Structure 1
Amino acid sequence: MLATAACGGPAKESGGVGTAEKPVELRILANDGYAKQWQEQMVPEFNKKFPNIKVTIDGVPYGDQLAKTMLELTAADPTYDIVMADDPWIPQMASTGALLDLKKDAAEWTDAAYDWNDFNSAPLAAGEWEGVQYGVPLRSNMLMMFYNKALYKDAGVPEPTPELTWDDYMSQAPKLVRDTNGDGKDDTWAVGTYFTRDPLTPTVWQTIFNANGGELLDGDNKPAFNNAVGVAALQTHVEMLKYAPPGASTWQFTEPLEAFRQGKTATMFNWGSVYKGTAIDPKTTTLTADQVGIQVMPAGTNSSGAHRGIWSGAIASRGQNTEAAWKLVEWLSSSEGEVWQSNTLGVFPARTSTLDSTPEQAWLSPVFDALKMAYADAETGKMWRPRLTNSDEVQRILADETAVAMANTNDAAKALDDAAAEIEKALTK
């Protein structure tokens, strides 16, 4: 199947962009976290410019998405024209030979105003593999620090700044666990984030590790995290549980988000794209923009922290509507599309020009400032998950051993040694 896909190459007929009499139909395989929003709001906006391209977006749960995408790309008769790739997936998807080289194969359809050099290098790099640009950022994201200004003030703790170190943060955490109603029971806590077995849980200690100069893999793709710096980073993540609400050991994405929105935690380490639903939308939060701060994660010895999480749009090279597919991807990643997405959906932009502009929505200004710093830190510290053709297996191993360390709080060193041994074996298969 892989051989068939690799030999396919771009479709000879692009399908064009359709006409009123003969519209083009596109299908997109996307994450269910944003598929409905795109279908209901993004597609009508895109159709103002390209009315003859009909778009259907199918949402898939995150845990199933990579496997379904790989099956799709290696199928004899692919269904989808556009597939979405999380940050570490592009190498694995590109290995099928079934993705379009966007700078080369789509060059003749690309608008002259589409400026590749305007992209911030950190998010654009998520769609590149071995010198080929297979994807472009359509939903940029970074793991960032949210903080509740009122809870910090009430606890007598200074608001975080980008100069805040992990040592500072951990020394302040006990003061942020408080009984606010005088009934003798704590009802607000310092922190909420990922703690349970989940592929994204290791990104928290990975960011701490990177901020202290560590790299997960060395130049030969050998594990390089089972050392004193890695152990200290994982131990910091484990110790956050002491200052989190009861039951936080089972938390993934949703639980810390809900706790923070309800004013139960003073800080949250989560994906920055939740800012709008956390600080702006009264339907989803009890907080307001003047109560919520957002910035990079605390600093290590080398830099502050921010883990990259970019959703890139890629095009199936054997599809019959490659030109129309590129027109949608091009529009959504253009300056025009980014500005619309940011102001309407609260989606983070990837272009320098967008980040340097004055957004229509005032609440985006501090977000853009934090995002620019986060991109710079990610680029400097290589703050992303392993980028390999079997990156999902590597991240699964890290998740498994992180869960071991969370359950056995004195076993961080052993957990990382075991993870390194398993990963080395996986990478030599």
Structure 2
Amino acid sequence: MPRNIRLAATASALALALAACGSPAEEIPADGGGLGSAGAPVSIRVIANDAFAKQWQDQLVPEFNKKYPNIKVTVDGVPYNDQLAKTMLELTGTEATYDAVLADDPWLPQLAKTGALYDLKGPELAKWNVPDYDWADFNPTPLAAGQWEHKQYAVPVRSNLLLMFYNKTLYKKAGVEEPSAETTWDQYFADAEKLVQDTDGDGKTDAWAVGTYFTKDPLTPTIWQTVLNSGGGRLLDDKMRVAFNDETGVKALQTQVDLLKYAPPGASTYQFNEPLEAFRQGKTATMFMWGSVFKGTAVDKDTTTLSPDEVGITTMPAGTTGAGAHRGIWTAGISKKSKHPAAAWTWLQWVTSKEGEKFTAKAFGTFPARNSTLDGTPPAAWAKPVYEALKSGYEVVSKGQMWRPRLPESDAVQQILALQTSRAMSGQATSQQAVQQAAQEITELLKSKGYGQ
């Protein structure tokens, strides 16, 4: 008898019936494909973002194989702008290439709606659960990024928050007190005027106050979305109707537009790399950016001119209801089309286990999602203040619901916001006009999908 026992006759009959209907469905062995053996290893594939896929393949997979040597993992990197479309094709197609897929924070509902992802807490995978996985140890904020309609379709593999970086040296030269979680937007703008300065005394401005996203990009609206949330506003209400077309929404967008006054020349074209480079070269005193870049910004000498004692990190300035942050969690789930769900789920459990998370935190500077890691001994001295900022940020995000819309049309909503935000940034529209246009287009989109009826 072959090693992999076939499913019962009823399941075989169902598979044949599906094939006859034009949906060829190969059976999954009763043992989920097993975990392999020295003579017959199991191979699985993972689709990931190319920003970190090579790190995973070169360092994370070998570490995993120390414990599970017979599960061969291939991690394929895909450019960010192509990843959602390719993953959707994977989950809705008839041929399965990947056993595990990754989702950026706003994509999860759209991927889950395909019906092609396992509920990781459901009965189908329970037989392969690792006993000490400890779901309760996850911080609720990053864990929620993998949830939709009361099911856990994915778990956090790379936690992230939009936070405020600041250059302590430039603050000191300007005679300005360093920012904190209590710093308001009014105080920030008062300080920004002083942070545009001539640091070498040659009569020319060589340092500016801020760098962040300004040009058209799906992530550019997250800046004013965070301002909106910290001022008590929301993008959508509980019935998925537009809720930002008001004074609070216009003020939030205008706040981001006003940042350009204190940014370096040409900052209107900034996306991800440009503000990062400006800050790392000591040209900007603050940067609103994803916290996961901290190691490359303050520690790695190959990528930055700064040192850990020069770089501070905290939540974004406070609005009327408190400080700001924005959730951006990469999660991973298991495809129902996988021929090896046991191996895929075993891999994902290890990557997001206490052991796996500690490894990634130390090797890559990846932010933890588990409370035990956040409260434990940091992998390096520089991580201690970062972990404190992250914990505060998790609380802020949860309290202010600071994330992109949680619906399958999230990406489409964000694209509309990106276009209208860029119009305001470039002066093609006022903040009020941009907000009104975005509200109109999003309302039409959501109504066409049956929301808000």
Q: When the two structures are superposed, what TM-score results if normalisation uses the length of structure 2? A: 0.92
Tell me by how many angstroms 1:9 deviates: 11
Are residues 148 and 108 of structure 1, via their aligned partners in 2, closer, same or farther at CA, if it must alter by over 3 Å?
A: same
Alignment match, 2:100: 82
1:116-131 matches, cutoff 5 A? 116-131=135-150
Alignment match, 1:331: 350
Distance in 2 between the 1:192 and 1:408 partners? 18
Alignment match, 2:79: 61
Counterpart amino acid of 1:305? G
Matched, 1:200 2:248: no
Alignment match, 2:420: 401
Alignment match, 1:166: 185
Tell me by how many angstroms 1:347 deviates: 0.2
Unpaired segments ≥5 residues, structure 2 = 1-20, 449-453
Distance in 2 between the 1:428 and 1:12 partners? 43
Alignment match, 1:111: 130
Tell me by how many angstroms 1:63 deviates: 0.6
Counterpart amino acid of 1:95? K
Tell me by how many angstroms 1:410 deviates: 6.4
Alignment match, 1:228: 247
Counterpart amino acid of 2:139? N
Tell me by how many angstroms 1:182 deviates: 2.7
| Other structure's SS at 1:293 match | strand
Alignment match, 1:190: 209
Alignment match, 2:451: none
Distance in 1 between the 2:402 and 2:22 partners? 32
Counterpart amino acid of 1:46? F
Tell me by how many angstroms 1:11 deviates: 3.9
Matched, 1:272 2:272: no
1:172-321 matches, cutoff 5 A? 172-321=191-340
- The answer (yes or no) to whether the contact 1:5–1:75 under 8 Å persists in 2 is no
Distance in 1 between the 2:347 and 2:293 partners? 24
Q: Deviations over 1:173-231 (max 9, x none)?
A: 01000112233321100000000000000000000110111111011101101111111
| Other structure's SS at 2:439 match | helix
The structure number with the bigger radius of gyration is: 2
Distance in 1 between the 2:142 and 2:344 partners? 21
Alignment match, 2:377: 358
Q: Deviations over 1:134-188 (max 9, x none)?
A: 0000000000010000000000000011100111101110100011223332110
Alignment match, 2:113: 95
Distance in 2 between the 1:257 and 1:107 partners? 43
Tell me by how many angstroms 1:110 deviates: 1.1
Counterpart amino acid of 2:399? T
Counterpart amino acid of 2:405? P
| Other structure's SS at 1:401 match | helix
Alignment match, 1:30: 48
Q: When the two structures are superposed, what TM-score results if normalisation uses the length of structure 1? A: 0.97
Alignment match, 1:46: 64
Tell me by how many angstroms 1:372 deviates: 0.3
Tell me by how many angstroms 1:12 deviates: 4.9
Counterpart amino acid of 2:393? A
Alignment match, 1:372: 391
- The answer (yes or no) to whether the contact 1:148–1:293 under 8 Å persists in 2 is yes
Counterpart amino acid of 1:68? K
Matched, 1:413 2:413: no
Percent identical = 60
- The answer (yes or no) to whether the contact 1:169–1:298 under 8 Å persists in 2 is yes
Tell me by how many angstroms 1:277 deviates: 0.5
Are residues 91 and 248 of structure 1, via their aligned partners in 2, closer, same or farther at CA, if it must alter by over 3 Å?
A: same
Distance in 1 between the 2:428 and 2:334 partners? 44
Alignment match, 1:391: 410
- Identify the match of residue 72 of structure 1 among 90, 93, 97: 90
Distance in 2 between the 1:308 and 1:103 partners? 23
Q: Deviations over 1:254-304 (max 9, x none)?
A: 000011000000000000000000111101111000000011111111111
- Of the structure 1 ranges 11-20 and 173-182, higher mean CA displacement relative to structure 2 is found in 11-20
Distance in 2 between the 1:86 and 1:117 partners? 22
Tell me by how many angstroms 1:8 deviates: 6.9
Distance in 2 between the 1:350 and 1:343 partners? 14
Distance in 2 between the 1:410 and 1:397 partners? 14
Are residues 424 and 12 of structure 1, via their aligned partners in 2, closer, same or farther at CA, if it must alter by over 3 Å?
A: farther
Tell me by how many angstroms 1:7 deviates: 11
User: Over aligned residues, Cα RMSD in angstroms?
Assistant: 1.6
- The answer (yes or no) to whether the contact 2:420–2:434 under 8 Å persists in 1 is yes
Counterpart amino acid of 1:184? G
- The answer (yes or no) to whether the contact 1:278–1:284 under 8 Å persists in 2 is yes
- The answer (yes or no) to whether the contact 1:9–1:98 under 8 Å persists in 2 is no
Distance in 2 between the 1:190 and 1:9 partners? 58
Distance in 1 between the 2:22 and 2:220 partners? 33
Q: Deviations over 1:372-423 (max 9, x none)?
A: 0000000000000111111110000000000111112761011111101100
